[in-house]
Amino acid sequence: MNIVISLDKDHGITSHDAVTAVKKLFKVRKAGHAGTLDPIATGLLLICTNEATKIAPFLSGLDKEYIVTMKLGESTDTYDSEGRVIKQFEISNLRFQMEDIKGIVQKFTGEIEQIPPMYSAIKFSGKPLYKLARAGVEVERKPRKVTINAAEIAAFEPPFVTLKVSCSKGTYMRSLCNDIGESLGVGAHMTGLIRTRIGNFTIENSARISELPGKTSAMFSMDDALSHLPEITLDGEELKRVKNGNPIPLSLELSRSVEEIIRLKDPDGRLLGIGKVAGDSIKIERLIKI
């Protein structure tokens, strides 16, 4: 079974736990996720099984959408409600209006630099940052460029603010909450997070673990999962070369119709692999067994 499952992850379980549960339910040899989701968060987690694990890197880079709730007046060491409060502001002194919050939020749209939280899986000298943080060690993290495509206030019930955020890969919602709190001068931390969209996948076409394997509308073929990529159909000598994992020349005709990353298909419409335009040829990034 080579499929991509659009899972609505439950609160309190790790992404690894979710993958293990799916692997047992579907009795598959191999499974993995295309982009982690913290235990505190719920929502979309794409899980790839067997041969579909090869396409996970082409799904993890898709833009994402979140509903994130933060509490103003408190900063924590993890930037979320599971951490230790390290700074507190008297709640009664919070006199912000929605327009004040909206003005600050808009400053965080577009391309921004974001410092990853210490409690993250990013590695420093081969060790995940969260392991160093648990040992009481804090290291300097380099800012990363991320893109906030849109951010709007969905609810405002002081001291809680809920935002709907569309963003690029690698954006930390916990860091965004912390940074907004710092900009307001009162601190903030994330109290809830729902991932509602990954590329063309939406929470409406996902399934809870308890609904699997019966909810087939949450299961996608590799080709359907990659529908955001352009495709080309190959035959003849090019088809033979691709099946052997060899690059194919980028003809003038192809150069007018393909982008950098493309789906390679046989005359019957079956997915052969993923190609990448490199100079005057198409290099095979992933070869799919059919």
20 Cβ contact partners less than 8 Å away, ≥ 6 residues apart? none
User: Concatenated DSSP letters for 219-249?
Assistant: EEEHHHHTTTS-EEE--HHHHHHHHTT--EE
Catalytic residue among 10, 17, 38, 179: 38
Q: Which long-range contacts (CB under 8 A, 24 or more apart) does 81-89 make?
A: 81/40, 81/189, 81/190, 81/191, 82/40, 83/119, 83/189, 87/187, 88/187, 89/186, 89/187
What are the distances in angstroms from CA 281 to CA 235, 249, 255? 16, 4, 9
CB 211 within 8 A of CB 218: yes
Q: Is 38 a catalytic residue?
A: yes
Provide the annotated active-site residues: 38
